[in-house]
Amino acid sequence: MEHALNDWSLEVSQMELEDNGTLTVTFEDNSLDSQQKYTNPLSLHFDSDRLQEFITTTNVYRSLESEFKSVMELSGELVTIVNKEGTVERVSSNCKKIMGLAVDEFVGRSIYDMERLGVITLSSSKKVLETLKEVQMTQRTRGDRRLFVRGIPLFNESGSLEKVINFSRDITEESNLQERLREREFEINVLLQEVQRSHSGKNLLVSKAAEIEKVTHLLNKVAQTDATVLFLGETGVGKSAFAKHLHELSPRRAAPFIQLNCAVLPDQLVESELFGYAKGSFTGANQQGKKGLIEAAAGGTLFLDEIGELNLQTQTKLLQVLQEKTFTPIGKTEPVKVDVRFVAATNRDLEEMVETGAFRRDLYYRINVVPVLIPSLRERTEDIPMLIHHFTDKFNGEYKRTCSFSRDAIDRLINYRWPGNVRELENMIEQLVITAPAEVIKVSDLPQKVQRCKEQINLFKGSFKEQMQTHEREILQDALKEAKNLNEIAEKLKIDVSTISRKLKKHGLKLQ
């Protein structure tokens, strides 16, 4: 019977070493049936020199093979070698533990089939074969294990791709722990928010700008209803602060105000945080199941900050809550009824997101019932002196200091553009109160970017009363520097001691 070479399945059936050093190796062709075996055995003869060469090469090969196997096995990673056709040629023995498949079930399989059958979500070898470049990616196995994979192309001497070698690290436990940690951190944050809210009493908002007055007026009206309010405006303008203010004005003020920043958590976590889940719903979930923030905000207000970051799946579930006042926690079938007022904020252009399909139009209409735009700080510079006073008082109290700002320094702060708005101003004042070398903060103490803002005209120096307060404080601070007691100050400024004492108290100043 004739065979093409690649039909043969040869196995050594006999080896004979003759006295003259010649080795005869006989191969059996397993592709033939038993009666045909040995009818035409294939024998190769090696003379002693060739034999020596063969043995040396075989030994080198064996030793390399054993070292290679050790590296594969000892690395602790799942190592797979795939040829250029996409067929697995070798795999390390931890394959069963990680992929749920024995070595011989894995070797010989096509990566394209495995991807199609869901043995792995995404094949790194496929990506390497397509791009001819090293890739790094995370994969999920059918058994829901998560792997971090590095796929490396191996090229032959003429530069063509020969094989792909993949090193996969099982990161399931690591990522479960990370997710649980994130969940805990998140819960702590929600609790902290609640504690801060109940301790700080009212959420003090400082402003005199006509635009903000209009906002406050509108909020006073809508607070009495359950209408959904969407706060718009640049980052740091006070959208969250106004959302809290709205809650405090509303009949829901005694119930929780819960805030979720949709941008800080990964998609799956946002969904589970919002809607909660039944026990054992997904890998890494809390064993007992968990109540979502929607339920936690029952009777109160749920504020969804950066709502533009929600993915489409969560948007759909949220729409159901807004429309039907019910939702279904992950892994449950029974819907839960809720009584929550929804408030949202974004600094993204939601209308544009609707046009590009990134945000659901119906959800946009639902949350945009009362849009409220908070103007940037550059558009209401009249608020800057007030805010400076407000934050200076706040941080003087916190850091036990008695700082104030020179008039020139206030002018520079008014002229600065404030890209980070009120938050940036608040942070800067805190930093200056901590680091200022003297009680009066001067232009030279300000950050360089603010010091440079002198060319512009000073549009506003504060009201008459505010300017008088600033002067009064500066006069007292100067007097305190030189005087040893209150009588000396009273004498110098020609006012009585009780007035001095009262004014010092008002400005939080005292004798050194």
Q: By CB under 6 A, what part of segment 372-401 binds ligand ATP?
A: 390
Is 263 a residue that touches ligand ATP (CB under 6 A)?
A: no
Question: What's 120's DSSP letter?
Answer: B
**Residue 209 sits in the site that holds ligand ATP (CB under 6 A):** no
Crossing angle of the two packed helices 384-399 and 407-415, in degrees rounded to 10: 120
Q: Which is nearer to ligand ATP, 169 or 423 (CB)?
A: 423
Which range of residues in 93-101, 174-182, 234-242, 410-418 is near ligand ATP by CB under 6 A? 234-242
Q: What is the DSSP letter of 347?
A: S
Alpha carbon 465 to its chain's center: 46
Identity of residue 236: G
Q: Is 347 in the site for ligand ATP (CB under 6 A)?
A: yes
User: Closer to ligand ATP at the Cβ: 236 or 385?
Assistant: 236
Distance, CA of 239 to CA of 317 (rounded, Å):
24
* Pattern 424-453, ligand ATP, x by CB under 6 A: --x---------------------------
HEC assignment per residue over 435-502 = HCCCCEECHHHCCHHHHCCCCCCCCCCCCHHHHHHHHHHHHHHHHHHHCCCHHHHHHHHCCCHHHHHH
Among 126, 239, 341, 473, binds ligand ATP (CB under 6 A): 239
* Cβ distance to ligand ATP smaller for residue 320 or 347: 347
The footprint of ligand ATP on this chain (CB under 6 A) covers a number of residues equal to 18
Which of 144, 142, 128, 137 is closest to 169 using CA atoms?
137
How far apart are alpha carbons 447 and 454 in whole angstroms? 13
Q: Is 240 in the site for ligand ATP (CB under 6 A)?
A: yes
Q: E strands within 250-367?
A: 257-261, 276-277, 290-291, 301-305, 326-327, 336-337, 341-346
Taking the least distance from each CB to ligand ATP, the nearer of 363 and 422 is 422
The angle that helices 384-399 and 421-435 make with each other, rounded to 10 degrees, is: 40
Question: Angle at CA 253, nearest 5°, toward 251 and 256?
Answer: 130
**239 vs 473 by CB, closer to ligand ATP:** 239
Closer residue to ligand ATP in complex, CB, 72/350: 350
| Least distance (Å) between residue 408 CB and ligand ATP | 24
Binding flag, residue 235, ligand ATP (CB under 6 A): yes
Q: What's the closest the beta carbon of residue 420 comes to ligand ATP, in angstroms?
A: 8
Residues 6+ apart with CB under 8 A from 429: 388, 391, 392, 395
Per-residue tokens: 244: 């809290």
- Regarding 206 and contact with ligand ATP (CB under 6 A), the answer is yes
Considering only residues 286-305, where is the footprint of ligand ATP by CB under 6 A? 305
Nearest CB to ligand ATP, comparing residues 163 and 389: 389
Nearer residue to ligand ATP within complex by CB, 129 or 241: 241
Does 422 participate in binding ligand ATP (rule CB under 6 A)?
Answer: yes
Q: How far is the CB of 109 from ligand ATP (least distance, A)?
A: 50
Give yes or no for residue 205 binding ligand ATP (CB under 6 A). yes
Nearer to ligand ATP, 81 or 212 (CB): 212
Contacts of 421 (CB under 8 A, 6+ apart): 234, 235, 236, 237, 238, 376, 377
Contact positions toward ligand ATP, by CB under 6 A?
205-207, 233, 235-241, 305, 345, 347, 390, 422-423, 426
